[in-house]
Structure 1
Amino acid sequence: MSSPSESPTQTLADSAISRAPRQGRSLASFRRMLDATKALMLERGSEDFTLQDVSDRGAVSIGSIYLRFESKDRLLHAVIAEELQNIVEKERELIEGILAQSSSLADFLPRYVDGYSGFLATHAQLLRTIMQRASLDPAVSAPGRETAQKSADLSAKAILTFRDEIRAKDAERRAHAVFRIVFATAARQFGLGSTAESADDKIWDTVKSELSVMALAYLQYEG
C-alpha cells in the first residue's frame, strides 16, 4: 500500500505486484518475468505479445506469473516502473560524468548534447512503448510526467553549475528552456512523440553540432 508522500513511479511499482517474492528461487523467477517482458517489448516495439510469450521467454510457468501479477497490465506496470526509475539513475550518472569533464559552460554543452542525445537513442525503443502506454493508461501517465520532470531538473541543475557564465536575468528559466529544446530536437530524431519516418540522420548530424552553439548564445544573451 502506498503512502501519501510516495512518488507516482513508486506507487506504480508497488501496486503492480500482487505477491512479492521473498526467497532466492522465487526472486530469480520474478526477475526472469520482468526481463522476459522487457525483452519482448524491445523485440516487438510494442505490447503485442501474450503472457504465454513471457512464460516461454522467461522459462516461468503461467501460474507463477499470475501468482505475482493479476494481469498482463500489472506485469507491464512493474516493468515500466522499474525502467523509469533506472532511466533517472542512469541519466544522473551520465550528467555527473559530463560535469566532471567540463570546466566551463562551453565545455559542458557540446558534451551534454552529444551524451544526452546518445542516451535517448539507446533508450528510444522502450521509451516509445512506454509513451504509447502512457497516452492511454492513467496509471502510467503520472509516473511518465514525474520522470520527465526529474530529467528536466537534472539537466537544468547541471547547466546552472555554470551560473556565473549565464548572463540572463532568469537563469533557471533559460536552463530549463535549453533542456526542452535539446530534448524536443533529439526526441524527434529518435521517434519519441513522432513517427520514425520523421528522422533524418543527415539533418540530425548538422543540428546536433549546432545545438550547443545556439544554447550557449541563448544562455549568455543578456536580454
Structure 2
Amino acid sequence: MTLPPEGPRPPRQKRSEATLARILDAARTLLAVRDIDEVTVEDIASEAGVSVGALYTRFRSKDELLTHLLDVTQRSQAERLAEVLAEARWGTVDLAGRVTWLVEQLQASARAQPGLIRAVFARLLSQSPALNAGPAALNARSVALLAAWLQAAPDGVTAPDPDLAAAATAAWLSYSVHMALLYDFAFPGRDGDEVAGELKRAALAALRPAPAAGRSGGD
C-alpha cells in the first residue's frame, strides 16, 4: 500500500502557490490572537478566502497545516535573526545594549503573535521526536547565534565560562521573557513587563558578574 506523502502537497501552478500562501497567512493571522485549540480548519479557510476542500487538497489535517506553518515560521525567524545580528551597527553596542534590545524584541514578539509562540513552545516541549526534532534544531541554531553575538560585545562576557554563560543566558532569557508575558502561572501576581526588566538585570549579572569582594586581613 502506498502511503500519502508527508507535509503539504506540492502546488502544480502559480495559482496553487498563491492559494497555499493565503492559507498559511490566514493561519498566521488567526494565531496572532488565538491559541491553536481555538482555531478551526473552517476559520482558516474563511480567513484565507478559500473553500475547506481547497485546504484539504494541500493538508490532510489542521495539525499537518500548523506543523508546516511552524516549520516555515521558525526557519524564517532563524534566517532573519542571522541577518540582523550580522549587521555592522552592532560593533559599538555594549553588552547592556544588546541584552536590552533582545528583551525588547522578545516582548514585542510575545505581544504580536502570542498564539504562534505558544504553539512553538508546545512543539519544543513535545515528547514526540517527530514533532520536536525540527523546532529543537532551529532553536539551538538561534541560541548559538545569540550567544556568539553577546560574546562579540566590546565589553565582552566576563563570566568564568563565557561560552556557557552566553549560551545559557540566550536560552533562558528567550524562554523566560515569553513565559512572563504569555503564561499567567509562570509569575503569578506579577506584571510581565516588570518581570522582563528583572530578567534583563539577571542576564547582565550572569554575563558580567561583579568582582568578588577582596579578602580582609591581607590574605
The TM-score by the shorter chain falls in which range? 0.7 to 0.9
RMSD: 3.1
Change (3 A) 1:163 1:26: same
CA distance in 1, matches of 2:129, 2:207: 37
Aligned to 1:101: 89
1:40 paired with 2:26, answer: no
Aligned to 2:180: 189
Q: How far 1:135 moved relative to its partner? A: 3.9
Change (3 A) 1:209 1:139: closer
CA distance in 2, matches of 1:141, 1:108: 34
Task: Give the length in aligned residue pairs.
Answer: 203
Instruction: State the TM-score, normalized to the length of structure 1.
Output: 0.74
Q: How far 1:164 moved relative to its partner? A: 8.5
Q: Which amino acid aligns with 1:115?
A: W
CA distance in 1, matches of 2:78, 2:211: 28
Whose helix fraction is larger, Structure 1's or Structure 2's? 1
Determine which of 82, 86, 89 is the counterpart of 1:92: 82
CA distance in 2, matches of 1:191, 1:18: 30
1:72 paired with 2:62, answer: yes
Q: How far 1:31 moved relative to its partner? A: 0.6
Q: Which amino acid aligns with 1:41?
A: L
Aligned to 2:216: none
- Identity percentage of aligned residues: 25
Determine which of 107, 130, 137 is the counterpart of 1:139: 130
Q: Secondary structure at the match of 1:20?
A: coil
Aligned to 1:54: 44
Contact preservation (8 Å) 2:107, 2:181: yes
Alignment gaps of 5+ in structure 1: 1-14
Contact preservation (8 Å) 1:155, 1:179: yes
CA distance in 1, matches of 2:151, 2:60: 45
Contact preservation (8 Å) 1:168, 1:219: no
Alignment gaps of 5+ in structure 2: 213-219
CA distance in 2, matches of 1:188, 1:18: 31
Q: How far 1:71 moved relative to its partner? A: 1.5
Deviates more, 1:64-73 or 1:88-97: 88-97
Q: Secondary structure at the match of 1:145?
A: helix
Q: How far 1:209 moved relative to its partner? A: 5.4
Contact preservation (8 Å) 1:134, 1:141: yes
* Greater Rg by CA: 2
Contact preservation (8 Å) 1:166, 1:219: no
CA distance in 1, matches of 2:152, 2:209: 16
Contact preservation (8 Å) 2:158, 2:209: no
Instruction: State the TM-score, normalized to the length of structure 2.
Output: 0.75
CA distance in 1, matches of 2:176, 2:8: 40
Deviates more, 1:196-205 or 1:80-89: 196-205
